[in-house]
Chains A and B, each alone.
Chain A
Amino acid sequence: MKPRVAFFDFASCEGCQLQVINLEEKILDLIDVVEVVSFREAMKESSDDYDIAFVEGSIMRPMDEERLKRIRKNARILVALGACACIGGVNRLRNEWSVDEVKKEVYDEADIEGNRLFDVFPTKAVDEVVDVDFRIPGCPINREEFAKVVAHLAIGKEPRLPSYPVCVECKKNENICVFELGKFCLGPVTRAGCNAICPTHGDGCEGCRGYLDDPRMEAAKDVLRKYGVSFDEMMKRFNMFNYRKGAI
């Protein structure tokens, strides 16, 4: 029996599901080994009978929580797809302010009070609402990693994320350290698995895959200070994908 797979999205750009489509010809293999039963971005059919649910996006509202809990109930395995689902990602940036304040900034005087569509709470990652079995981090996800996770789930090998930092992949790519180019990089504290794609293209790591289990934050801050990065600038960079109130 092929595992039945469904995709769902919450507050997100839907770019992670797009990476599944971006597997291009490999999609033909994918639909050979799993049965895709719901994939709103690409399919009309949908079903509540599935084994594996891939969930993209952050959770913003009570109505989203309800839907997510239904998905968790139906799914044997729930995989959080992408930074928004895994850690909250950029959606978390707004948690710096109160809900009322951000509503006012965007919707100004419009009458949205009591309207359930606009009834938001501070951004949550998926695992703040339901249990998550596996995570495919990144903004967007690395499609090769997605393919690997699907293959692993299909043959019964528990997917495991790299436990080492982006620097490992960056060194193997023989990049010039972006610090040497006068840039800022979160590679040393960020979980690898992206093949160090940003530093490889001359930009610093933004931490979209989330921190390691035991990030060396103090050591990293020392290094940033050594390279002349101000505390304010550090806060902004650390917060981009990994916002935590009052801390970096």
Chain B
Amino acid sequence: MKASSLDYRNLVAAIIVVGLVALPLFSQVTGNFFVLTLFTRIVIFALAAVSLNLIMGYGGMMSFGHAAYLGIGGYAVGILAAEGFGSGFIQWPVALLASALFALVIGALSLRTRGVYFIMITLAFAQMAYYVASGLSRYGGDDGLTIYKRSSFGGVINLSNRVEFYYLCLLCLFGGIFLVWRIVNSRFGLVVQGLRSNEQRMQAIGFPAKRYQLVCFVIAGTMCGLAGALLANNTDFISPAVMYWTRSGDLMVMVILGGMGSLFGPVVGAIVYLVLEEFLSQVTEYWAMIVGPLLLLIVLFGRGGILGLIGRFSRG
């Protein structure tokens, strides 16, 4: 029984991997570049969702401020570009480092709390980052910052080339998934998952709970910062809106929609959510009126997200 459901999930994962890898080929053949643009965005958000899944699905840390790292990674690229540092070899490490530092500080404070307090604290800190970005009048303030030149990586890769950029994003996504897979199967990951199930017991057998959770929190934040750097390069623009709390909500929705605590769940969630949004916004201007109640229904009736549904369906 269990094995067959796992097979189905692996099948879904395999289809996604092959589909994502083959996508540029499809768009070249059909001349449909819109789908490539859409999926570049999807892949970037999938990376952010994968990082959120690490703390939310495996670590049980319900962060409602995850979009802050998208903004921090993006602003690191944008501000350095505006100041004349165009090299990705400078921009990207700074983006990662800034995200890691932010995660370290807010994680150290937020992890003093738990449950719904944690949800609200992370939300509030992300809002704080949002207001700070809005106050950066030198870098566009509320209106955001246009990035005139994408990060340059010497001759290694040209980000202005659609296909090359797409594959870079995809590489980052697969790298992120691989990293999460290695983490959750390592001793460190097992401890973090143990803390999700029963923090008191883990502490009683001598694990410093907060330290493990904080490291996990920082890893996820850094990974999302990378997604932020990609996002800024994708849109050639960064604005505080990227950090707005509804963006964090979107990321949460992607993770839960796809299936929390499963490796490919967030990717499925990102694809479904963003394709649905794209599709519905072409049909009607009021797409959120459909998506909103849909979320409610998914919460009420569909436990375990889409992958969970597939699992249940395949079990009969």
A and B found bound together? no
- B residues neighboring A (CB under 8 Å): none
Chain A contact residues, CB within 8 Å of chain B:
none
